Amino acid sequence: MRNFYAAILGLLLPATDAFSGGWSRTGANSSSRLHETSDFDYKAFGELTDHSDVSNLVRSVNYFISRECNYNCKFCFHTETNKNKFQFEQAHYGLRLLKAAGTLKINFAGGEPFINPQLLGELCKVASEELGMAVSIISNGSLITSKWMNLYGKYVDVLGVSVDSFDSSTNAAIGRGGDANNKHAERVLRVRDMCCQHGILFKMNTVVCSLNWEEDMNTQVEKLDPYRWKAFQVLILEGENSGRPGDLRNANALKVSRHEFDAFCERHSARKMLIPENNDVMQNSYLLLDEEMRFLDCSNGGKVPSESILKVGVGRALQQAGFDHEMFEKRGGVYDWERDKSFD
């Protein structure tokens, strides 16, 4: 039955769709073209489940809608190797497949997801309003506007912003936010205030690397008061940031030992919202979907894509994801991820 749906999908998608070896590309002016395929009628697909019972495994999924980014972090492990992205109708169908398979929470990431504000907003809307998922976004915080928040903020439960340092020269050295006069820390404060205004849970992510592992961020984090603060040990992945031929980054000089990572976490242990995730914890415990809605298997030190869920269904693609469900449970992958709906 799944193959039948996939075949129909192949007929309905544009001629250059991802499954004919080409690509549904949208360029820089893509936002006005999001609904180009408005005749895409997934009601014609009927039943969406693929009869694989994976509901316990796919409760929380991360979807990198595009690799495009306006920052240039030296340790980035999801680099801009292409500018591809699904159009709204394709991504929407993929979200419906995930919902049918049991996904309860979707996290939109990138790249920088706010580079495609309309696509991001419309996906938040259908994920929340139509599919009843909890919706989270991870962003570098630089492109979030009040206008977007006024339009789409009500569909977002959690907004996470990456903050590796409160020192502008360290941010500049990392590549997060341009030159040494960059205003990354101020932008984060602004995003936190917008989250408060819209009843969105504010979260922080920090990548601990050789440039920030000795920093004391206690005062600033206390002021920002995120409801969760994740600290990740910088991760080297072939094909992304390992410095091998073809990789866009070489993050080897930014690596920290487990001892250095633990020292950073210990220094901030009074911040009860801190959740440390070293390389062993994070590498395979996230379900990652790339811009073609393919799960990414990081278990062998690179990112090997599965077949797309739009092509083979969630269950079969999941078999190729290298996902460590036990570690997902161990790291507390399921948590209180819904905003207070009485705010709306």
Least distance in Å: CB of 311 to ligand SF4? 26
Q: Which is nearer to ligand SF4, 71 or 286 (CB)?
A: 71
Task: Determine contact, residues 85/291, Cβ cutoff 8 Å.
Answer: yes
Instruction: Tell me which stretch binds ligand SF4 (CB under 6 A): 2-10, 68-76, 250-258, 283-291.
Output: 68-76
- For residues 143 to 162, the per-residue mask of contacts with ligand SF4, x marking binding by CB under 6 A and - elsewhere, is -------------------x
The pattern of x and - marking residues 117 through 146 that bind ligand SF4 according to CB under 6 A reads -----------------------x------
Tell me how far, at minimum, the Cβ of 225 lies from ligand SF4, in Å.
22
Q: 234 CB contacts (<8 Å, ≥6 apart)? A: 75, 207, 208, 209, 210, 251, 254, 255, 256
| Torsion angle of the four alpha carbons 46, 23, 95, 134, in this order, in degrees rounded to the nearest 10 | -170
Q: Does 277 bind ligand SF4 (CB under 6 A)?
A: no
Smallest distance, Å, CB 79 to ligand SF4? 7
The rounded distance, in Å, linking the Cα atoms of 195 and 238 is 35
Comparing CB distances to ligand SF4, the nearer of 80 and 338 is 80
Q: How many CB atoms lie within 10 A of CB 6?
A: 18
Residues 173-212 that bind ligand SF4 (CB under 6 A): 176
Unique residue bearing structure tokens 């994920």: 127
- Active-site residue list: 69, 73, 76
* Sole binder of ligand SF4 in the list 9, 57, 58, 69 (CB under 6 A): 69
Regarding 64 and contact with ligand SF4 (CB under 6 A), the answer is no
User: Which listed residue (5, 93, 107, 111) binds ligand SF4 by CB under 6 A?
Assistant: 111
Give dist(CA 291, CA 9) in Å, integer. Answer: 17
**DSSP track, 24-53:** ----TTGGGGTTTTTT--GGGG-----S--
**Residue 69 or residue 101: which is nearer to ligand SF4 going by CB?**
69
Q: What is the size of the binding site for ligand SF4 (CB under 6 A)? A: 12
Structure tokens at 114: 């706010």
DSSP-derived 3-state class of residue 61 = strand
First-to-last C-alpha distance (Å) of the chain: 40
Which residues lie near ligand SF4 (CB under 6 A)? Answer: 69, 71-73, 76, 78, 110-112, 140, 162, 176
